[in-house]
Amino acid sequence: MTIYSHSRLSAFEQCPKKFKYKYLDKIKPEIEKTIETHLGSAVHKTLEWIYSNIKEINQDLKIDDIIVKYTEEWQKEFSENILIVKKQFTARDYFNKGVHFLIDYYSKHYPFKDGTIECEKRILIELDGEEYKIQGFIDRLVYNLETGEYEIHDYKTGNLLPKQEHFDKERQLALYSLAIKEIYGKDKEVLLVWHFLAHNKIIKSKRTNSQLENLKKETIELIKKVESTKEFPRNRSVLCNWCEYKNICFKEEREENFERNKKR
């Protein structure tokens, strides 16, 4: 039995070849990480720090304290080998982006007393008894006393802001809501909340129990497809520029073309 994750399934959907390199061949990528990943990680860790410590931190948590923490997180994992695809920007530009995200977030959410239960909550979803399981981490789980709803919060640091329809069909947080209903009761309402930090915007969505049952079935079908797949074609797109296997993939393709041409 393999425990799946949303990112594992997404990798398969986005590019089967990348999925193979990463999850089947377990090839160590040449690129350590991209600057976007680094930014996302530093911002996530800072927000986790705020909410995990909010009970101990005094009410006057200042934006300066948050920026100091963010700077520490940024520096801890920073290296000159981080890939910057958009050459018109420097690492400093990305660092400053994070500062802006946190200033906006602070203005909107201070004093951060919204009923947060847990950050980085690990969840395991049983889709079909013991056979198919999905694990994931919820950025932040909230119990909203005013509405009586559980809320699954997710932070996004990318520039892309899809339309509402995308969120009404989105898989990751919907799967996590299955786990929350398992823990707290199927009758509980679960609100899915995305924070698009680059846009200072919050998007919300909900699922009915019957939509969640369908999602379970669709996810099991997808896992079965992944497990029965024998061919892993490349899916070339603009995302290749950010792919950690780009060099391996392009080299392999050149060699395949060379061999093919030789046989002609």
Locate 48 and state its tokens: 């986790």
Q: Whose structure tokens read 């600057």?
A: 35
Query: Given candidates 4, 9, 12, 15, which one binds ligand SF4 under the rule CB under 6 A?
Result: 15
Q: Should residue 234 be labelled a site residue for ligand SF4 when binding is judged by CB under 6 A?
A: yes
Q: Should residue 144 be labelled a site residue for ligand SF4 when binding is judged by CB under 6 A?
A: no
Q: Which is nearer to ligand SF4, 178 or 243 (CB)?
A: 243
Q: Should residue 31 be labelled a site residue for ligand SF4 when binding is judged by CB under 6 A?
A: no
List helix spans (H) across 54-148.
63-77, 91-109
Query: Given candidates 236, 251, 254, 257, which one binds ligand SF4 under the rule CB under 6 A?
Result: 236
d(CA 85, CA 131): 40
178-182 long-range Cβ contacts below 8 angstroms, 24+ apart: 178/125, 178/212, 178/215, 178/216, 179/123, 179/124, 179/125, 179/136, 180/123, 180/138, 180/141, 180/150, 180/152, 181/209, 181/212, 182/125, 182/126
From 158, 144, 140, select the one nearest 49 (Cα to Cα): 140
From 7, 20, 8, select the one nearest 235 (Cα to Cα): 20
3-state SS track over 184-207: HCCCCCEEEEEEECCCCEEEEEEC
Query: Given candidates 4, 6, 9, 17, which one binds ligand SF4 under the rule CB under 6 A?
Result: 17
Number of residues that bind ligand SF4 (CB under 6 A): 12
Q: Which is nearer to ligand SF4, 71 or 235 (CB)?
A: 235
Binding part of the chain for ligand SF4, among 33-41, 52-60, 145-153, 237-245 by CB under 6 A, reads: 237-245
Residue 27 three-state SS = coil
Binding part of the chain for ligand SF4, among 14-22, 165-173, 179-187, 207-215 by CB under 6 A, reads: 14-22
Q: Should residue 18 be labelled a site residue for ligand SF4 when binding is judged by CB under 6 A?
A: yes
Query: Given candidates 57, 99, 222, 240, which one binds ligand SF4 under the rule CB under 6 A?
Result: 240
Q: Should residue 22 be labelled a site residue for ligand SF4 when binding is judged by CB under 6 A?
A: no
Q: Should residue 27 be labelled a site residue for ligand SF4 when binding is judged by CB under 6 A?
A: no
Q: Which is nearer to ligand SF4, 48 or 252 (CB)?
A: 252
Q: Which is nearer to ligand SF4, 190 or 249 (CB)?
A: 249
d(CA 77, CA 41): 9
d(CA 82, CA 65): 26
Q: Should residue 12 be labelled a site residue for ligand SF4 when binding is judged by CB under 6 A?
A: no
- Least Å distance, CB 128 to ligand SF4, is 29
Residues that bind ligand SF4 (CB under 6 A): 15, 17-18, 234-236, 239-240, 243, 245-246, 249
